[in-house]
Amino acid sequence: MGAVITESARAVGKVHRALPLAAAAMGRLMAGAAFLSADFKGNEFVHLEMDGGGPLGRVMAEGYADGMLRARVDTPGVSLPLRPDGKLAVGQAVGREGRLLVRRHLNNGGIYTSYVPIRSGEIGVDLAHYFTESEQVPSAVAVGVLVGREGLVTGAGGILVQTLPGTPPELVEEVQARLFNLGSVSHALADGEDMNGLLRRVLPKPVQFSQVQALRFGCTCSREQLKPLLLTLPVEERREMADSGGAEAVCQYCRTAYRYGHSELGVPVDA
């Protein structure tokens, strides 16, 4: 399975005014959300969260049945020196002392949560560990985000390869080697290669492609959704907001700001 999320990752990076480390972490985790939501229907969605104790704080991404993706990070302005190989130090920024949480929200109202310990913080390795350990499907994952000189994402996506029962061990080793030798997925996408071509270089012949799901950045927030959060604040705090002309709530995923007037803040008349 392949996911091209260049436009979505670029939009997320711009919305959060993220420096390259945060943009890369959010984009990589969004690729994982795209993989996990690929077979969803209706209103189903998946929430991924990594909290490894690194300077980025929590990194979160969600994938929806209709192809919508969104992501956020606690500290988008983190900057660290490059690794010795010249790559972004995503693993150090995410941290390795925590867990990767996956929460599936299903149409029937069921919520299923599972998690695995973070192994590297580089996200691709951690996603592969999740699929192999939690879902009991041996998996290899390659995810990448390339941030250009102007700070914008120029290539982002990933490849997920999973084995079926009875797959010969030598075939598994061959595919793993091909994926390793493929190089950077993000660089290839930025250079104009398409995902089908990349998959043909990784998978043994014959390669057959199923339906394509369009992926896009979006959000589920609304004024009605955020208003209840304001009403959980102490009444005196809401009174101060009302006296100063109203309140503003900002969505943590898309940074859209919603204004609420005096009458919407639920301040008792006799309080």
**pLDDT score of 138 more than 60:** yes
- At 269, the pLDDT band (50, 70, 90 cuts) reads low
Question: Stretch 83-112: mean pLDDT, rounded?
Answer: 93
Q: What is the largest CA-CA distance in the chain?
A: 76
| Closest among 268, 187, 207, 254 to 226, alpha carbons compared | 254
Question: Stretch 250-268: mean pLDDT, rounded?
Answer: 87
| Distance (Å, whole) CA 262 – CA 232 | 15
- At 247, the pLDDT band (50, 70, 90 cuts) reads confident
- At 105, the pLDDT band (50, 70, 90 cuts) reads very high
Question: Stretch 151-165: mean pLDDT, rounded?
Answer: 89
Going from N- to C-terminal start, the domains of the chain cover: 2-217, 223-264
Burial category of 31 from C-beta neighbours within 10 Å (exposed 0-12, middle 13-18, buried 19 and up): buried
6-46 residue pLDDT tens: 999 999 999 999 999 999 999 999 999 999 999 899 999 99
**More confident call, 216 vs 164:** 216
Q: Which CATH code of 3.55.30.10, 3.30.70.270, 3.40.50.740, 3.30.830.10 fits the domain covering 2-217?
A: 3.55.30.10
**Cα–chain center distance at 221:** 17
| Distance (Å, whole) CA 223 – CA 246 | 14
∠ CA 96-254-51, rounded to 5°: 10
**Stretch among 17-31, 161-175, 232-246, 252-266 having the lowest mean pLDDT:** 161-175
**Sheet of strand 111-117, all strands in order from the earlier edge strand to the far edge:** 111-117, 99-105, 45-51, 59-64, 68-73, 216-217
Question: Stretch 129-135: mean pLDDT, rounded?
Answer: 89
pTM comes to 0.90
| Distance (Å, whole) CA 93 – CA 32 | 18
Question: Stretch 126-152: mean pLDDT, rounded?
Answer: 89
Residue 235: the pLDDT is 87
CB 59 within 8 A of CB 50: yes
CB 139 within 8 A of CB 182: no
- At 270, the pLDDT band (50, 70, 90 cuts) reads low
Residue 66: the pLDDT is 94
- At 271, the pLDDT band (50, 70, 90 cuts) reads very low
169-181 vs 195-202: helix crossing angle, rounded to 10: 140
39-96 residue pLDDT tens: 899 999 999 999 999 999 999 999 999 999 999 999 999 999 999 998 999 999 999 9
Q: Using alpha carbons, list the distances in angstroms from residue 107 to 18, 42, 43, 210, 215.
A: 33, 7, 6, 24, 20
| Distance (Å, whole) CA 2 – CA 35 | 8
Question: Stretch 153-159: mean pLDDT, rounded?
Answer: 94
Token pair for residue 81?
């020196």
Question: Stretch 148-163: mean pLDDT, rounded?
Answer: 90
**pLDDT score of 268 more than 80:** no
Return the bridge partners of 68, or none.
216
**pLDDT score of 206 more than 80:** no
Token pair for residue 145?
């985000």
Give 37's DSSP letter: T
Average pLDDT over the chain reads 90
| Distance (Å, whole) CA 263 – CA 221 | 21
**pLDDT score of 110 more than 80:** yes
